[in-house]
Structure 1
Amino acid sequence: MDEHLNHAPCGYLTLADDGTILTINQTLLNLLGYDINELRGKHINCMMTVSSRSFFQLYFFPLIQLQGTVEEMYLPLQPKGENPLPFLLNALRKVTEKGTATHCMFTLMKRRREYEQSILEIKREMEEQNRIKEEMITELELLQRQLEHKQQELVEMNSRLKVLAETDGLTGLKNRRSFQESLSLNMSLCQESSLPLSLLLLDVDHFKNINDTFGHLTGDKVLQVLALLLKESTKEDDVVARYGGEEFAVILPNADQPQALQVGEKIRSLAEASYSTSPWFTVSIGAVTMSLEDTVTSLQSKADRALYSSKRNGRNRVTHFDFLHRSTDPNSLK
């Protein structure tokens, strides 16, 4: 405990939710005549009068659990071998990564007479409230269970909303927004680790003709089949996304140029052979491998140019950006 807090001009302690004393300052120990080993780890009841215990359980614990704070509550404490001392209690319940604790500040009341009337009134209320104590506790337990249930529902709902926000509804792949976030993150990680990263952009060839000939439901089926092929052709660490319309994207962490072309050709050949599950279709693919100076925007732009080259040169092929300006293109595969 901080030395200033330990010798503050008022008593201070922290409680666990079950009433166990976690810490207590020297000021309060001196006022009550206890040694720290007599109180630390014990229930707070051990330093209370009989009436205070009932009051504490009936008023303090429900209030601190529901509101998180208690202000200026009158509470007599029982010193060791002496008459009770009157205190004003202020408390705050805090939830941190280390757990939940209630911080209590006890101010000794030097003018007790001003509070005697309120004490008598409180005592009468306590006698009445003791009669219905069990009913209140039962109701509070029910409310606690309901609150926990609602909290669990909220957690599950937030989880579902997060998945919906990141997923393309038709294909079940990541959507464009989620893809952009994944690309930025993976580029940063690979650049920091000096590892390669490649990106594939692919487009269903003549997709408009498929829609016009077979209908949009069949076109949707083609996209779903392609999504499954992409999942089958990639590793767990790869990121597959629907880029928009009939365009898809694949992020390949730790993949250099030959590996990117190998994955691209695998996807292309599987698509070409997929006529048994959907109308025959092919894909054009543009590949790019990240260079040191690349940004998210420049990498996507290069992949898009490579994709355009594949479509311009006959479709149903894989083109890597590195070979766009060469007279021969050994890494443009068909």
Structure 2
Amino acid sequence: MEHRLANIPCGYIALNDQFRIVEVNETFLQWTSYAKQVLMNQHIEKLFTSSNKLIFHSYFYPNMLLYKHVDELFIHVRGEDGKTIPCLVNAIEQEIEGETYIDMVLMPMKKRIDYEKEVRKTKQLLEQAYSQKTVAYEHLQYIYEKIELKQAQLVEINKQLVEISNTDNLTGIANRRYFQEQLTQLVSNFHEQGQAFSLLVIDIDYFKQVNDTHGHPVGDLVLAQLGLILKMTAREQDTVARFGGEEFVLLLGETAEVDALEIAQQLNKVVEETIWPTIGRLTVSIGCTTYKAEDTEGSVFEHADEALYASKRNGRNCTTQYEAMRKVQ
């Protein structure tokens, strides 16, 4: 490797057509603390965590296959000490003397978060200056637009990672992590603004029989179809998510007890009347509760879950409202 390439202020890795490392520059070795002989002939995925391998499989490989290049892929590289380094990756496939190689250039992004803060602060200062100095309007507008462009670029870099981390792969709806974030926000809105909300916990009746009788692939299709039904039923202020296994949750924003019960019972009806390929008929049991001032994030879920099990005991294919159940008790 030429001395200039070895010490340029960015990482350089060359791969063969099997995605194994055949060359790496000194800059990259200094970042990651690897010895060169440790990396040579290793698969490129040695440098990634499990989540970053997923990004590589879903974006890097398809783009190299279809377009022979990758532009500005945001990914974390794992150093020898286990610490990760955020990088932007550009790559291109080239043929040299009958051999196929992939040249990768990696730009460090360690200061990206600080940069975002700096951009926001600069934007605020510029907006203040704009209101006070109308004579500088055109110049400030130019700078403002440049900042907006940089913010948009940063948003685009993070978009794919955010979607992956918040989405359930099987059903395409939100996952438990995203549900927890939205529940926290609704609890905050309740205490700060008095906005009511309710929670439905939904469980497929006899789902084990579906898997045992028809196999797990059919069970997966049932989960995906139910996820789609819930997503189509949900309103703009609602959040539908897969909590785990055959259990789903539905956060009903701006919804009190009466409306929550009506929505849940309508869901029972929709699911029962839906045509389910292969299995024929399917029903769900639902637990329903509305957040109260004395509740917490933990207690509101416990109440909905308790109501769900009451629905199971009452014959399934029905909704039990926690508040009504407590009055009876």
TM norm structure 2: 0.53
- The CA distance in 2 between the partners of 1:158 and 1:245, in whole Å, is 28
Residue matched to 1:248? 248
- The CA distance in 1 between the partners of 2:163 and 2:326, in whole Å, is 41
Residue matched to 2:220? 220
Which sections of structure 2, spanning at least 5 residues, go unmatched? Answer: 1-117, 127-148
2:228 is paired with a residue whose SS is: helix
Note the alpha carbon deviations across 1:113-172, whole angstroms, 9 max, x for none.
xxxxxxxxxxxxxxxxxxxxxxxxxxxxxxxxxxx99x95x7534210111000100111
- The CA distance in 2 between the partners of 1:99 and 1:322, in whole Å, is 47
Residue matched to 1:166? 166
Q: Does 1:97 align with 2:122?
A: yes
Code of the residue aligned with 1:220 in structure 2: it is: D
Residue matched to 1:237? 237
Residue matched to 1:209? 209
- The CA distance in 1 between the partners of 2:326 and 2:215, in whole Å, is 39
2:231 is paired with a residue whose SS is: helix
- The CA distance in 1 between the partners of 2:122 and 2:291, in whole Å, is 39
- The CA distance in 2 between the partners of 1:317 and 1:230, in whole Å, is 16
- The CA distance in 1 between the partners of 2:277 and 2:227, in whole Å, is 13
Could you tell me whether the CA contact under 8 Å between 1:239 and 1:250 is conserved in 2? yes
Matches within 5 A, 1:168-183: 168-183=168-183
Code of the residue aligned with 1:269 in structure 2: it is: K
2:326 is paired with a residue whose SS is: coil
- The CA distance in 1 between the partners of 2:261 and 2:124, in whole Å, is 51
CA 1:218/1:194 → structure 2, altered by over 3 Å: closer, same or farther? same
Matches within 5 A, 1:1-334: 96-98=121-123, 152=153, 155-277=155-277, 279=279, 280-327=281-328
Code of the residue aligned with 1:316 in structure 2: it is: N
- The CA distance in 2 between the partners of 1:245 and 1:325, in whole Å, is 28
Code of the residue aligned with 1:98 in structure 2: it is: K
Note the alpha carbon deviations across 1:196-236, whole angstroms, 9 max, x for none.
21000010001110001011111111111111111222201
1:198 is paired with a residue whose SS is: strand
Note the alpha carbon deviations across 1:170-189, whole angstroms, 9 max, x for none.
11111101101100101211
- The CA distance in 2 between the partners of 1:100 and 1:195, in whole Å, is 34
Code of the residue aligned with 1:258 in structure 2: it is: V
Question: How far did 1:99 drift?
Answer: 8.7
Note the alpha carbon deviations across 1:276-312, whole angstroms, 9 max, x for none.
4462211000000111111100100000000010011
RMSD: 2.4
Which sections of structure 1, spanning at least 5 residues, go unmatched? Answer: 1-93, 102-147, 329-334
Could you tell me whether the CA contact under 8 Å between 2:276 and 2:282 is conserved in 1? no
Question: How far did 1:327 drift?
Answer: 4.2
Note the alpha carbon deviations across 1:71-113, whole angstroms, 9 max, x for none.
xxxxxxxxxxxxxxxxxxxxxxx86523999xxxxxxxxxxxx
- The CA distance in 2 between the partners of 1:233 and 1:243, in whole Å, is 17
- The CA distance in 1 between the partners of 2:303 and 2:204, in whole Å, is 19
Could you tell me whether the CA contact under 8 Å between 1:271 and 1:283 is conserved in 2? yes
The higher radius of gyration belongs to 1
- The CA distance in 2 between the partners of 1:99 and 1:231, in whole Å, is 38
- The CA distance in 2 between the partners of 1:171 and 1:183, in whole Å, is 20
1:172 is paired with a residue whose SS is: coil
Moved >4 Å (runs of 4+): none
Code of the residue aligned with 2:164 in structure 1: it is: L
Percentage of pairs with the same residue: 42
1:199 is paired with a residue whose SS is: strand
Could you tell me whether the CA contact under 8 Å between 2:237 and 2:254 is conserved in 1? no
- The CA distance in 2 between the partners of 1:294 and 1:99, in whole Å, is 38
- The CA distance in 2 between the partners of 1:166 and 1:298, in whole Å, is 23
1:293 is paired with a residue whose SS is: coil
Count of residues in correspondence between the two structures: 187
Could you tell me whether the CA contact under 8 Å between 2:175 and 2:242 is conserved in 1? yes
Code of the residue aligned with 1:313 in structure 2: it is: N
Code of the residue aligned with 1:228 in structure 2: it is: L
TM norm structure 1: 0.52
- The CA distance in 1 between the partners of 2:326 and 2:186, in whole Å, is 27
CA 1:202/1:276 → structure 2, altered by over 3 Å: closer, same or farther? closer
